[in-house]
Every structure is written in C-alpha cells, then in structure tokens.
Amino acid sequence: MNMFCWQCQEALKNEGCTVAGVCGKPAGTANLQDLLTFVLKGVAVYARAATERGESVREAGRLTMRGLFATITNANFDDDRFVELIHEALDLRDGLAQRYGADLPKPLPEAATWNKRNPEEYPTEGYRVGVLATADEDVRSLRGTIVYGLRGIAAYGDHAAVLGREDDEIYRSLLDLLAATTDEDKTVDELTALVLDTGHLAVKTMALLDSANTGAYGNPEITTVNIGVGRNPGILISGHDLRDMEELLKQTEGTGVDVYTHCELLPANYYPAFKKYSHFVGNYGNSWWKQNKEFEAFNGAILMTTNCITPVQDSYRDRIFTTGMAGYPGVAHIPDREDGRPKDFTPVIERAKRCESPTEIESGSIVGGFAHAQVTALADQVVDAVKSGAIRRFVVMGGCDGRQRGRSYFTEVAEELPNDTVILTAGCAKYRYNKLNLGEIGGIPRVLDAGQCNDSYSLVMIALKLKEIFGLEDINELPISYDIAWYEQKAVCVLLALLALGVRNIRLGPTLPAFLSPNVAKLITEKFNLMPIGDPKSDVAAMLAG
C-alpha cells in the first residue's frame, strides 16, 4: 500500500485508493495531503487555546480553510504547493504553540507535537499520519466524515473570504471541530454529535457564501444561456470562483477574446453583473469528467479556478492555467491577489489571442437562474401550481457528476419522472439531465437550476420558504423528495447540512461513501432513513408515493 484515500465516490472498489488515485492523484500527492491535514489539526489544537482566551483565530482559520480546500478531490495535484502549505502550517502551529502551548493539557495530541524538522522529537517508528492511523473503524469513519465535511466547508468559506466576507465564529467552529478529530477520548456518540455540528456549520457557511455572492454580483435571474460558439478566439473558465470570473471579464473586454464558462461556472451566466459583457458568449461543454475532449475541441486558453481538474493532456497542456487553490504540476499558475489588486490574467489572454476559435460541439441554449430570490419572486405561481395539483412533487437532484456508469441512473430518473413533477438542482449533477427536453408546467421549467454546488443553500432556502408558505411544522411534510448525487467533499458538506436541518429519506448515489463503516452507515440510515439509490423506476414510484 502506497497511500490510502477514500474521500470521494470513486474510491477504488468503493473501499479506498491504495496505489494511486482513480482520480489520477499520485501516492506522493495523497501522502502530502494527509500530512497537510495532520499539521492543520495541530494548528487547530493550539488555536483552541486562543479561542479559550477570547483571542483572534483569524489567521489560523484562513490558513486552515485554504489548506483543507486544496485537499478536496480534483482541486490540486501540485506537490510543491502542498509542501509550501505544510511549511506555512508548521510555522503557524509552532508560533501558536509558543504562545499557548503552556496552557494546554499534557500530553498533547500527536498532531500538535509532531515536527517534521526535528523528526527525532517524535517516535516515528510504525507511525502513520493518514486515515488508517486511527485503528477503530467506527472512530475512523466518524473522524473522516467530519474532516471531509470540513473540507467542503473550507471550500465554501474560502470562496466567501475571497469576496471579503469572513465570520470569526465560523473559523472558531471549523478549528474546534478539526481539533476534536485528534481527541482520543471522544466516544462514538460524541463524534456522532460532532458530525451533526459539522452539518450546522455547513449551513452557516453556505449562508455566508450565498450572501457574499449575491452581495457582490446581484441575485441570479432566469437566463437563457447560449451553448454554441462565436468566431473569436476564446478563454474557457472552469471551477467555481466568481471573483476570477469578474476580473477575467473585465480584463478581456475589448481584446477580441471571448469568454465561455465550463462545468460549474455555467451559473455565472445567471448573474446580472456578468451578463452585461457582450464578449461573454455562454457555456461550452459539460461536466468536469469530459474535459479532455472538450478542452481539446475548445482550441483556446483554459483557466481552472478550483476543482475539478483532471490529469492534463498534451493536446492542451500549453494553453491551460490554474489559479487560486487549483494546481497541477507543470501548468502555469496565475498568482493570488496582492494588496487588494486584481489578479493579472494577461498570460491567459495573450495565450488565447494566438488560438483558433472554438470548435462547435453543441448549439442552442439552456435555461437556468432559479436561485432562491428568483424562485421566491415566482412563489405565487409555484404555490398555485402545487395547490391546483399541476405540480405534484419536487425532486431535489443536486450534487456532483462523475464518471461512474451507474450515474446514468440520474438521467433515467429525470426521464422517468412524470410531467407534473419539477426537478430542483444545483451542482454539476445537472449535466445528466439539463439538456433533455423535459418541458414546462404553466411556464415553470421542469428543471430549475439554482446554480453551482456552492449554491445548494438556495435549495434549502426554497424548501424553507415553501414550508413557511404552506404553514408546515416539519420540512419533511413538504412534497419534496431528495435524490442526491455525490462525488467530492462539498457534496459531503451539503449532505451533512441537510441532515442537520432534519431532512429525512434522502436517496444518495451512485454508492454510499466508502468512509462510512457498517456501524456508522447503519446509524445514519436508521436515524435519517438515508437510502442508497435503487433502480430508477422503483425509486420514482417510491418518491411519488411520498
């Protein structure tokens, strides 16, 4: 065994990747990610002492968010970046240790004392840093669930921070939960409660991100998005970062270079602040896992702002760039903003100018922009449709897409659902059905796309709004079913958020997470009636039955 990673839905045999990642992550990178997580746990342990004294944990919170974000699936494959982050984390941890170490009970948790620079300080023989260092399978499973949820939270929190929105309470809770995963005294019951605390923190962080996005760029609105191509050379921007989108649009204006979104940046088309640019042509391509073929056909420059980047191919290696927490060895990286100045995308723009225009792979358009403010504006129409029976049921089918064949289930469910049902979606899972012609109900499209996985909060807001309008006590009384697709850790964060809000009867697929031990899976399935997906026909029948 060279590594052990089981954090995503594509974990080998639904057990774990042990030689190299199915995602393409080499063992060395996986081990550096484990080490970074471990050192960040050390940061979190000392930051607790700062919290106890009522002192700021902002620096620790920021670094922990960036570090955990970098470890999510398909965000960063660049070992040099992880080594830098590990050193940054060690420096911060040692500074905190100097300041607060004396206040901590001894012996300190391992993560707080290990020092890479003086290995003799720690008995390294037989010592392991990664997931398998926890011997008890249920404790390991619960710690993993918390850490993976925190990775998703870190991604959402970092996006909000990039837009200038931070919440010290969120930093404190994040560090506290991370530190708790080093505590050998925590029982299974206590760790289970912390899993739900992670879900509550997810809700809070998603709300912060929602307000950061809409505060900066306005509320998404119903938009028809072109999926064809223009004649100019183009830049294809992928990932989830809206500030990169804004700065790229500004810097490309008047250059003769067009801008297209890819995968999870499709929802950028729904924002008033971005729609106004005439050289913002639309969306090109589909979900992340098709990027090899689509990046090749795009012909132009490509900018990866976050996950999901897949192993870079020669056919486009010299025209792809990364930025933010995304990274890939040998790929040019656009540095972070300094002193409040925008990033400089000149290398991307200059590269695009020497490219051919994109090859058309699709034509026509799709409709989206149904985030919570837009749906609330349509509330009367929606409520009337529910009361008259024109809408029988909503099915939340948000989440991630992925390569696994079993994901055709989600296309089949979309096709199988009767004409009086509406699909609510967010995340790249939508590419499994957003180009099917599923029609409308009284002017309301049968697929309502709220946006990115980062906008899953909108789905929660829509459910809570309907609960309020219908005067219901319990969110589970709504005519809403949940049929969620997951792949990476932001989906884990969204799932924990739904569980924390008390949502029951969620179907999850294409497989249940490998990191749930049999006992933990039993506990969650019994408490929340979380179910693995079945076959499309019977699942649709069961969902319609309520």
Pairing of strands 444-445, 440-441: antiparallel
What is the pattern of x (binds ligand SF3, CB under 6 A) and - over residues 207-246? ---------------------------------x------
Closest CA to 32 of 5, 1, 59, 10: 5
Instruction: State which of residues 18, 51, 73, 404 lies at the interface with ligand SF4 (CB under 6 A).
Output: 73
Residues 524, 119: Cα–Cα separation, whole Å: 40
Residues 29-58 that bind ligand SF4 (CB under 6 A): 30
The CB-of-17 to ligand SF4 minimum distance in angstroms stands at 3
By CB under 6 A, tell whether 407 contacts ligand SF3: no
Closest CA to 282 of 303, 258, 316: 258
303 touches, from ligand SF3, ligand SF4, none (C-beta below 5 to 8 Å by class): none
Contact window for ligand SF3 (CB under 6 A) among 122-130, 178-186, 473-481, 482-490: 482-490
Question: Are residues 434 and 449 in contact, defined by beta-carbon separation less than 8 angstroms?
Answer: yes
Instruction: State which of residues 68, 400, 478, 530 lies at the interface with ligand SF3 (CB under 6 A).
Output: 400
Which residues are CB-neighbours of 167 under 8 A, at least 6 positions away? 204, 205, 208
Sequence-ordered strand ranges (E) for 426-473: 440-441, 444-445, 447-449
Q: How far is CA 307 from the centre of its chain?
A: 8
Tokens 């989906």 correspond to what residue? Answer: 491
Across 499-532, b (16+ Cβ under 10 Å) vs e yields: bbeebeebbbbbebbbbbbeebbebbeeebebbe
# binding residues, ligand SF4 (CB under 6 A)? 13
Instruction: State which of residues 423, 488, 493, 509 lies at the interface with ligand SF3 (CB under 6 A).
Output: 488
Report CA-CA distances (Å) from 237 to 109, 156, 193, 268, 489. 42, 19, 39, 10, 22
Instruction: State which of residues 10, 34, 110, 449 lies at the interface with ligand SF4 (CB under 6 A).
Output: 10
Each as own residue / partner, the long-range contacts of residues 417-421 (CB below 8 Å, 24 or more positions apart, any chain) are 417/446, 417/540, 418/392, 418/544, 419/446, 420/389, 420/390, 420/391, 420/392, 420/393, 421/391, 421/392, 421/393, 421/394, 421/395, 421/446, 421/544
Query: 148 or 482, CB closer to ligand SF4?
Result: 148
Q: Residue 12, Cβ neighbours under 10 Å: how many?
A: 15
416 touches, from ligand SF3, ligand SF4, none (C-beta below 5 to 8 Å by class): none
By CB under 6 A, tell whether 69 contacts ligand SF3: no
Instruction: State which of residues 1, 2, 5, 338 lies at the interface with ligand SF4 (CB under 6 A).
Output: 5
By CB under 6 A, tell whether 530 contacts ligand SF4: no
Query: 309 or 413, CB closer to ligand SF3?
Result: 309
Residues 426-465 that bind ligand SF3 (CB under 6 A): 427-428, 452-453
By CB under 6 A, tell whether 151 contacts ligand SF4: no
The CB-of-490 to ligand SF3 minimum distance in angstroms stands at 6
What is the pattern of x (binds ligand SF3, CB under 6 A) and - over residues 289-308? ------------------xx
By CB under 6 A, tell whether 491 contacts ligand SF3: yes
Tokens 């290990």 correspond to what residue? Answer: 114
161 touches, from ligand SF3, ligand SF4, none (C-beta below 5 to 8 Å by class): none
Q: Which residues bind ligand SF3 (CB under 6 A)?
A: 74, 240, 263-264, 288, 307-308, 400, 427-428, 452-453, 487-488, 490-491
Q: Which residues bind ligand SF4 (CB under 6 A)?
A: 5-8, 10-11, 17, 21-23, 25, 30, 73
